[in-house]
Structure 1
Amino acid sequence: MASKKDKNALLHASENGRTDNVRALLNRGINVRHADADGRTALILASKEGHPKIVMMLLEKGIDVDHKDEDGWTALHHASVKGRTEIVRALLIKGATITPLLKEKILSGQLPLDILPLL
């Protein structure tokens, strides 16, 4: 089930917070590495939209925590910019890298203040 932006069912469910759907898809063995036309994976979408339970499920399945979308942003970058503290913490625990692009945002004061102590 791909759409015009090449989003499969896992990407749609992850972006929209459909935890039960994500769980079912993961149990069926769906490819967690799939990315849409913009290079966004389920982890990036769930991190950006603020769905920590889905983020944890994806991390447990071994999804690439440092995958970059076409803009060079990782899930950590998206979660940081959106102020998703719980997700930022989970990504860092799983070894997410603070990229040069994210460092630039930190140094220029473009992140929510409650995120800074985590980074």
Structure 2
Amino acid sequence: GRSPIHHAVLYGDSQTTRLLLDMGIDVNTPATDGRTPILLASIEGHADIVDILIEHGCHINHVYFSAITPLSVASDRKHYKVIQRLLDAGAD
């Protein structure tokens, strides 16, 4: 299952994402499948959500299934705005 933060991120709802994080939701909370909000935002190409998650201190180099990172999925899907934001924040 997914929590409200995961649903907000998946649907690109920046207002709800920011509200939940401002209320104290952990920015790095994984869904039951292990995917974190930053990974989901990178998969979906939601650059504005990526910015919000970075502002709230997410782990931008989170590794999913031993090799998948937010930067790698954004690159695979050619989400150039997300790639730039991740690189600007120090992703590798």
Please state which band the TM-score falls in when normalised by the shorter chain.
over 0.9
Larger Rg: 1
Q: Distance in 2 between the 1:33 and 1:71 partners?
A: 17
Q: How does 1:1-119 map to 2 (within 5 A)?
A: 5=1, 7-70=2-65, 72-97=67-92
Q: Distance in 1 between the 2:73 and 2:19 partners?
A: 25
One-letter identity of the residue aligned with 1:85: Y
Higher RCO (CA 8 Å, separation ≥ 6 residues): 2
CA RMSD of superposed structures (Å)? 1.0
One-letter identity of the residue aligned with 2:51: M
One-letter identity of the residue aligned with 1:92: L
Given that 1:52 and 1:86 are in contact with CA atoms closer than 8 Å, whether structure 2 keeps it comes out as yes
Equivalenced residues, count: 92
**Secondary structure, counterpart of 1:35 in structure 2:** coil
User: Which segments of structure 1 move beyond 6 Å, counting only runs of 4 or more?
Assistant: none
If the length of structure 2 is used for normalisation, what is the TM-score?
A: 0.94
Unpaired runs of at least 5, structure 1? 98-119
If the length of structure 1 is used for normalisation, what is the TM-score?
A: 0.73
Unpaired runs of at least 5, structure 2? none
Aligned-residue sequence identity (percent) comes to: 36
Q: Distance in 1 between the 2:21 and 2:62 partners?
A: 19
